[in-house]
Chain A
Amino acid sequence: MATENNTLILKAPWVFPTVSPVALWLVALVAAWAVLGQLYADSIRLLLLWVPHLAKGLQMNILTSVLAIGIGTVLGLLVGALELSQARWINTPARWYVQVFRNAPLLVLIFFTTYVFPFEIKIGSIYLPFPDWIKATIGLALPASAHIAEILRGAVQSIPTPQWEASASLAFSRSQTLRWIILPQCVKRVLPPWMNLYAMITMSTTLASLVGVTELLESAKNASNTVNRTDFTILVYLAILTLFFAYCYPITRLTRRLEKKFSFH
């Protein structure tokens, strides 16, 4: 009985043609919107009027998420390297940095960077404006860097110790081993969690709306308050949900595929 079941399960993917889940989701989304289009033709027309405003918001989300992951990666690799150092006076502060920024709520960190940093920076006699969206980006980049430091440390520590010993016996120094032997192998292990982190940061960019950055969610809220109609409100929030899903789900799928692909090496 059990073995019969097993063979059935094993055969299933070949028996039925495999359809990519992404495609299925897209079909479902298009169908849902088509149905909505029939029911809410009027408010869809309104929604189309608001598309430029919403697109501007989305642009801000993408910009902040890319900047945050960029800054976070650079900073995180640095902190991760410090964490891997064998000198205690170097790795202890790095570990504290990671602990603090991983355990603080993101929203609170964004409040922190927005309200504690000045609104302009004085360099010599020039005043440079320091807009809220950059502060929010920093608020997102700080925890991102702590996560990346942890990802890096985890990846380096997941490489079997005999490799260190083998390279030491081949007269590689510690830094040479790290550079030429360990880190190249880490790339594969770091990539999937790094992409996951990017998806998470993208979703967190909505928090910037709470400190007055006009990103997608804030634009949607503006639109819904301005139009002030029940059906439009439903539609605009559903649209936001769909947009985020359409942006993040492919990343998640790809991450999972890479995870599977790399897991045997």
Chain B
Amino acid sequence: MIESLLNAFIAAAKIIGLNYSFLLSAYERGPWLEGIGITIGLALLSIVSSLLVGIVVASLLTSGKPWLANPTRAFVELTRNTPTLVQLYCAFFVLNMLINQAVGGAQNNPLSAFAWVVIVLSLHYGAIHAEALRAGIEAVPKVTRESALSLGFSRSESLRYVELPLAMRFALPSLVNNLVNLVKSTALGSAIAVGEVTYASLMIWTQRDNVLELMIFIFLVYGILTLLVARAGSWLETHLRMPGYGH
């Protein structure tokens, strides 16, 4: 059934001059489909951990304590003003190398290239999320914070139960925008040979010279993933909307 559908698709594509015959070879189709899975895994893991990093960094930025806020600001500025690829290289070729030397060889190193991509993307987008969240926290009316404090909330409780829930809502559109960019950035994994969809395609088109065909598929994969993130974002926006705030 699937086989005949595939054959029909390949025959149809051939009419308009596209060569999708790689789909018939299990040897090439397998890693390619796996690549889609790895892309989704990278995206999901980095989305969750970047949001966590973002919350931590934003609460440090707005802590009001200079010894916490200033180094965090330095981290955010450094992250935002240097290329993600350079950060990835610094992590993978420098830190990973140092870890390898410390634990005595790459075979003892628990961190894979996949893990490094997740770490770098989480830190990078965490810093960018933090900026959005900070703006959100600063958009919370001062009276709200003062009333929370006067009701006996501590500074951190006020942040957790009063300000962050509001800030999340204010920051949601830019957070979703960042997450869409994050999904697109997972393609960077191919730079250090993580077998995500871009890398898997690269491996196929160097053999078969069918760049255009694979490009169409890659654009579709990322298009669908970013669309899903954007949809989830707008669902959350309507779901979390509070009367009196925003629209």
In the bound complex, residues from chain A placing their C-beta under 8 Å from that of B185 are 105
Distance in Å: Cβ of A132 to nearest Cβ of chain B: 14
Q: Would you call B211 and A115 a contact (CB within 8 A)?
A: yes
Interface residue tally for chain B (C-beta within 8 Å)? 40
**Chain B, 155-193, contact with A by CB distance < 8 Å: what is the 0/1 string?**
000000000000000000000000010001111101100
Q: Would you call B190 and A107 a contact (CB within 8 A)?
A: yes
Distance in Å: Cβ of B225 to nearest Cβ of chain A: 10
Check: B24 CB closer than 8 A to any chain A CB. no
Q: A244 and B82 in contact (CB under 8 A), knowing A107-B190, A108-B215?
A: yes
Check: A206 CB closer than 8 A to any chain B CB. yes
Check: B244 CB closer than 8 A to any chain A CB. no
In the bound complex, residues from chain B placing their C-beta under 8 Å from that of A100 are 219
Q: Would you call A240 and B86 a contact (CB within 8 A)?
A: yes
Q: Would you call A217 and B86 a contact (CB within 8 A)?
A: yes
Distance in Å: Cβ of B19 to nearest Cβ of chain A: 14
Q: How far is the CA of A233 from the CA of B97 in the complex (A)?
A: 10
Check: A112 CB closer than 8 A to any chain B CB. yes
Q: How far is the CA of A237 from the CA of B92 in the complex (A)?
A: 11
Q: Would you call B222 and A248 a contact (CB within 8 A)?
A: no
Q: Would you call A104 and B81 a contact (CB within 8 A)?
A: no
Q: Would you call B90 and A203 a contact (CB within 8 A)?
A: no
Check: B94 CB closer than 8 A to any chain A CB. yes
Q: Would you call B93 and A224 a contact (CB within 8 A)?
A: yes
Check: A130 CB closer than 8 A to any chain B CB. no
Q: How far is the CA of A199 from the CA of B190 in the complex (A)?
A: 23
8 Å CB interface, A186-238 against B: 199, 203-207, 209-210, 217, 220-221, 224, 230, 233-234, 237-238
Q: How far is the CA of A104 from the CA of B81 in the complex (A)?
A: 22
Check: B23 CB closer than 8 A to any chain A CB. no
In the bound complex, residues from chain B placing their C-beta under 8 Å from that of A210 are 85, 190-191
**Chain B, 200-215, contact with A by CB distance < 8 Å: what is the 0/1 string?**
0010010000011001
Check: A249 CB closer than 8 A to any chain B CB. yes
In the bound complex, residues from chain A placing their C-beta under 8 Å from that of B226 are 103
In the bound complex, residues from chain B placing their C-beta under 8 Å from that of A2 are 142, 146
In the bound complex, residues from chain A placing their C-beta under 8 Å from that of B202 are 111
B223's closest neighbor in chain A, by CB? Answer: A103
8 Å CB interface, B114-130 against A: none
Check: B84 CB closer than 8 A to any chain A CB. yes
The contact of A244 among B81, B184, B187, B211, by CB within 8 Å, is B81
Looking at chain B's contact residues, the main secondary structure is helix
A202's closest neighbor in chain B, by CB? Answer: B83
8 Å CB interface, B76-105 against A: 77-78, 80-87, 89-90, 93-94, 97-98, 101
In the bound complex, residues from chain B placing their C-beta under 8 Å from that of A249 are 77, 81
Q: Would you call A252 and B97 a contact (CB within 8 A)?
A: no
Check: A106 CB closer than 8 A to any chain B CB. yes
Q: Would you call B184 and A116 a contact (CB within 8 A)?
A: no
Q: How far is the CA of A20 from the CA of B226 in the complex (A)?
A: 39
Q: Would you call B184 and A103 a contact (CB within 8 A)?
A: yes
Check: A245 CB closer than 8 A to any chain B CB. yes
**Chain B, 59-83, contact with A by CB distance < 8 Å: what is the 0/1 string?**
0000000000000001001101111
8 Å CB interface, A1-34 against B: 2, 25, 28
Distance in Å: Cβ of B104 to nearest Cβ of chain A: 14
Check: B50 CB closer than 8 A to any chain A CB. no
Q: How far is the CA of A173 from the CA of B84 in the complex (A)?
A: 47
Q: How far is the CA of A140 from the CA of B82 in the complex (A)?
A: 17
**What residues of chain A have their CB less than 8 Å away from a CB belonging to chain B?**
2, 25, 28, 100, 103-108, 111-112, 115-116, 199, 203-207, 209-210, 217, 220-221, 224, 230, 233-234, 237-238, 240-241, 244-245, 248-249, 252
24 A-B pairs with CB atoms under 8 Å apart are A100-B219, A103-B180, A103-B184, A103-B227, A104-B222, A105-B185, A105-B187, A107-B191, A108-B198, A111-B202, A112-B211, A115-B205, A203-B84, A210-B191, A217-B86, A221-B89, A234-B94, A237-B89, A241-B82, A244-B81, A249-B77, A252-B77, A252-B80, A252-B81
* Beyond A237-B89, A238-B94, 8 additional pairs, beta carbon < 8 A: A103-B180, A107-B188, A108-B187, A199-B81, A206-B86, A220-B89, A221-B93, A233-B93
**What residues of chain B have their CB less than 8 Å away from a CB belonging to chain A?**
74, 77-78, 80-87, 89-90, 93-94, 97-98, 101, 142, 146, 180, 184-188, 190-191, 198, 202, 205, 211-212, 215, 218-219, 222-223, 226-227
